[in-house]
Amino acid sequence: MIARIWHGWTTPENADAYEELLRSNIFPRIADRQIKGYEGAHLLRRDSQEGVEFITLLWFETFDAVRAFARETPALLQTKQLLVRSDRHFQHYRVIAPD
């Protein structure tokens, strides 16, 4: 299993809109693509002194599935309009526990 992790920060005023966009639009669009090896997504949210931090976790069976996903991922301009800052790159981790 591979975890694809990304962080984004938004203002408290935009946090609910950003969360709703991901939950009702972005994540369903990803699922609709029916990428072989895509196992779903989780969204984490935390208030901090820097604003509201979101972490997206996408789950894949293999790195080949990650590459298939990344090859077809369009720029998500809607999400960037609501963010103050974000990671420049995704991080990928091999899930080692539990097995």
In a domain, 89, yes or no: yes
Percent of the chain with pLDDT over 90: 66
**Residue 87 reports pLDDT greater than 80:** no
Q: At 35, which CATH number?
A: 3.30.70.100
**Which pTM value belongs to this model?**
0.85
Domain containing residue 11? 2-94
In a domain, 99, yes or no: no
- Please give the average per-residue pLDDT across 12-27, as a whole number: 94
How far apart CA 61 and CA 1 sit, in angstroms, is: 5
pLDDT in tens, 29-64: 899 999 999 999 999 999 998 899 999 999 999 999
Beta strands in 11-82 (DSSP E): 38-48, 51-60
How far apart CA 20 and CA 45 sit, in angstroms, is: 12
- Please give the average per-residue pLDDT across 1-28, as a whole number: 94
Number of domains in the chain: 1
The gap from C-alpha 64 to its chain's centroid, in whole angstroms, comes to 18
